[in-house]
Structure 1
């Protein structure tokens, strides 16, 4: 990289010095002896070359002098002025001379670029460390992106599984509800049918004479445990005693107790009666 910046500056400086010397000799050779013109040309080029060498020495030491830099730019501007003046006064090839008149200033600019490169140049070890840091940062960024993508895919899979499970539960609940609805409809049809009433009458008339049976749908809800009855724990009640007891328990609270509450309290008190007799007594009391 150093050769890429210093070689163009050296080449352009050499061309500029040659052009300046040639122009001074040709321009002043007609007015003064050519040795004098040669001395003037060499003086301009020598001063420019001396200031350039001093600048390069200071740059090698890591130093900088504004006076030397200003003198160097002055010699460059003088050389450029000589070339421009010659181009403007030349009768032939004025455009060509004017086209190369910028070379001294361009040479100074190239040396400026080379100096900037030297002040910012890094050693191969430093460049390797920088490349390693940059590669490490790229690796960490790639790993982080991969981790985020994996987490996103995992979360998406989990949400899909939960959604599918919820859909299956909803389908099962809907199917169960439909089955229960059909069963309830069947029970309702059986209760309202005439054959059901006749069948119940045939079965219950020998057991509970004088009681009209009634088909009731089951009650869906929480149930209360009924304590087990020990055979012979309580004497069998007559229908009158059972009716009186049912009426007493039913009206023990206001409003009157429901059948379920009455049955629970009846058995909790230790009384004994079949479900058929207890329900028949309930219906007689309510009637």
Structure 2
């Protein structure tokens, strides 16, 4: 998998190094001996390769050094500057030379991309585990969606059935109410008719002489007479009984209770007496 990112970087680096060396020899060979120009070109390429090798070593150790990275970019920019300067001063094919002047920077960028890929690379086992987890999550989501849709369809069917049943009940109730209303109206009309009394007289015997029987409308539902409840007043306490009761409540605790506490307990026990009588009894026993 690493070959997908490292091979383009290696190829771009080799092309840019050869191109840089050739341009330096061609450009500076006219101004100095060509061996010196070769040394200059190899120096640029050598510095570029040395910093690249050190960067790769640090990356393999999981480390990073900004100084080394800066030096590497410096050599890459120097090589690019040499190519750009040669293209601008060339008498022929200046555009072609300028078109390939970006190769050193491109090679450096490809090595940067390869380093980022290595930092996030995973083993096949980890990738298989991730794919399995993702597939399991997708399966669970699909099952949950299917369950929700099924429950929604079931609830919709249930609500439709309940609504239809309620509508049928409402129609039956309305029809029954209309029938009962018609029957009640018929009974009321017959009751208020002029010939009702004579008809009842002809088929029933009079209970009270001189009184025409009357047809009363029926009452629906059971009825029961309601009887009233009469409250029986409790007999009033005599003075002696009141005195004894007050004295008993007063001395129910030690020390003796105050009048207010005694009165509260007196009434809480269900006894009744006016405030005047209760206070008079208190004074008599105190």
Q: What interval of TM-score do these two structures reach, taking the shorter chain for normalisation?
A: 0.7 to 0.9
Aligned residue runs from structure 1 range 104-183, under 5 A:
104-183=104-183
1:20 and 1:45 in contact (8 A); partners too: yes
Aligned match of 2:6: 6
Cα deviation for residue 209 of structure 1 reads 4.4
Aligned match of 2:229: none
In the TM superposition, what whole-angstrom CA distance separates every residue of 1:101-128 from its partner, at most 9, and x where no partner exists? Answer: 1110111011010011001111111111
Aligned match of 1:55: 55
Do residues 89 (structure 1) and 92 (structure 2) align?
A: no
Q: Distance in 2 between matches of 1:204 and 1:94?
A: 136
Q: 1:194 to 1:101 in 2, by over 3 A?
A: same
Aligned match of 2:215: 215
Cα deviation for residue 65 of structure 1 reads 2.6
Q: Distance in 2 between matches of 1:67 and 1:210?
A: 133
Task: Count matched residues.
Answer: 226
Compute the TM-score of the two structures, normalised by the length of structure 2. Answer: 0.72
Q: Distance in 1 between matches of 2:212 and 2:66?
A: 127
Q: Distance in 2 between matches of 1:45 and 1:167?
A: 91
Aligned match of 1:230: none
Compute the TM-score of the two structures, normalised by the length of structure 1. Answer: 0.72
1:205 and 1:211 in contact (8 A); partners too: no
Q: Distance in 2 between matches of 1:206 and 1:157?
A: 64
Cα deviation for residue 205 of structure 1 reads 4.2
Q: Distance in 1 between matches of 2:61 and 2:207?
A: 128
Q: 1:188 to 1:36 in 2, by over 3 A?
A: same
Q: Distance in 1 between matches of 2:64 and 2:218?
A: 107
Aligned match of 1:69: 69
Aligned match of 2:284: none
Q: Distance in 1 between matches of 2:203 and 2:66?
A: 128
Q: Distance in 2 between matches of 1:141 and 1:125?
A: 24
Structure 2 residue runs of 5 or longer lacking an equivalent are 226-286
Relative to structure 2, which stretch is displaced further, 21-30 or 188-197?
188-197
Cα deviation for residue 129 of structure 1 reads 1.3
1:24 and 1:82 in contact (8 A); partners too: yes
Q: Distance in 2 between matches of 1:70 and 1:185?
A: 107
Aligned match of 1:264: none
2:12 and 2:103 in contact (8 A); partners too: yes
Structure 1 residue runs of 5 or longer lacking an equivalent are 226-287
